[in-house]
Amino acid sequence: FAPAKIIRGNPSEICALAAGHLSTKGVDSGISPEQARAILTGHGRPDRNADALPNGASALLASASALVVSGKTDMVLGQGKMVKIANGSELMGAVTGTGCMLSAICAAFYAVAENGFDAAVAGVAVTGIAGELAAAQVVGPGFFLPHFIDSLYALREADIHQYLRAEVHCF
């Protein structure tokens, strides 16, 4: 049983935590989610897995219930699984603070979820779907945020079933 917390960042931020250095700023992450997964699950070597690493991803996963790598396709790692969630909008990257909102939404789900992994998956899914619904109502980032908040408020379980685009991978 991992300690009760969720670690979230863009690919470069997560890799910086794993490697101990930072070379990016916010939405300007320098690597793809696929590169992050390769680094986090084997330091880029397919013959190694996270369980074999003395540091890096294994250390992050050992100290958290879930690891969220946010980007064009979000990834939630934990419990020997990776859930890729392809919801969201490019406008989310144009609005300062959407990553922080994602962290807060995951924390809100953690308050009522059975574990951090489920909370992270739910938080990422709901945030991405609300982002898509908000983006469909605006032409640019100026009015995105109020529509995003309204979309979060109005989101129903049926919307999640209708719009969720997710894949589960075991590793």
Q: State which residues form the domain around 30.
A: 6-170
pTM exceeds 0.85, yes or no: no
Judge whether 29 lies within some domain: yes
For 31, the token pair is 């690597």
Strands of the chain, DSSP E: 6-9, 66-69, 74-78, 81-85, 166-170
Q: Judge contact between 148 and 96, C-beta under 8 A.
A: no
What angle in degrees, to the nearest 10, is found between the helix axes of 116-135 and 98-110?
140
Backbone angles phi, psi at 58, to 5 degrees: -60, -35
* Assigned domain for 44 exists: yes
Q: How far apart are CA 11 and CA 25, in angstroms?
A: 11
Burial code of 87-122, b = ≥16 C-beta within 10 A, e = fewer?
Answer: bbbebbbebeebbebbbebbbebbeebeebbbbbbb
Task: Flag whether 1 is in a domain.
Answer: no
| Per-residue pLDDT in tens (0 to 9) along the chain, 171 residues | 445 689 998 877 877 777 664 444 444 444 555 655 555 554 444 444 443 333 455 667 777 889 998 989 999 988 888 899 999 999 999 999 999 999 999 999 999 998 999 999 999 999 999 999 999 999 999 999 999 999 999 999 999 999 999 999 887
Q: Is residue 55 part of a domain?
A: yes
Query: What total number of domains does the chain contain?
Result: 1
Contact 106, 68 (CB under 8 A): yes
Q: Does residue 145 form part of some domain?
A: yes
Residue 16, in any domain of the structure: yes
CATH number of the domain where residue 98 is located: 3.40.1190.20
